[in-house]
Structure 1
Amino acid sequence: MRIPFAAALVVSALVAGPAAAEDARPSQLACDAGKIGARDLAECLRASAVHADAELAAAVEAATKSIDSRQGLLSSQKSRWRRSLTEAQAQWVSWRDQECQDVAPFEAGMTAKGGDPRLSCIIDYDAARVASLKARYP
């Protein structure tokens, strides 16, 4: 599966770069491992991942409504655009799930110090996808 160039840029911005190292990721902002214990951190990450998925679903729904409200397009064009967005979103979620399930734990060094790296990954990637959708579908 090919990852669109724009998605690759968003991903690279999340995980690399000097400014990114200084800024806290969305998962760190939601659940600060330095301020809460391991049990509370695990619950915070679970709840934040559920919230991030809900925000993502809302952003996709808003994008779909934005397509529907576009002037100057035939209904068949809008329908194709919505279908394409839905398919792209399904592929993105599949990629995110594999990335977070199979890659993130190794990148984190398999330690529980910062909480479950899979959940942190979902929170961080969902936040980036929501920002991307909101920028593209105002």
Structure 2
Amino acid sequence: MAIQPPQNTPSDLTFLLGQIDGKVTGIAQTLTAMDTRAQNHEDRILKLEAHDAVRSTYVPRFEAVERKVGELESVQDQGRGWLQAGAAVKAMIGMGIAVIGYLGWQVAVEPASPPTIEQKTVQTTTIPVEPSKVGRR
């Protein structure tokens, strides 16, 4: 945007008009940059709003998954409790056997009755017969 002074304008006024022209040009460039930046902000806000609209559908699904994970953790904690109880029971049984052994009683694990073994022998014999003698007396 170049402003040309009339032909008979004094030089100091020409200089002053040049400075004003430079400032107007700088202001126009600044306003253009501000408009571009404002448009970029507006686009970013629209994208964020669109993302939030989609996000609202994911929140209930996330809460459902979080609930299931909580249930699985509680079941896992119960399993750990049973394992700890089982370990305590095994320790008590071991201590009971140790006390009985210390008192001099012997504890043995044997079958109630010895196993019985049955053996059968089957013997077969084949006698050759002439075909002409079969069926005659």
Q: Which interval holds the TM-score relative to the shorter structure?
A: under 0.3
TM-score (norm 1): 0.26
Q: State the structure with bigger RCO (CA 8 A, min sep 6), 1 or 2.
A: 1
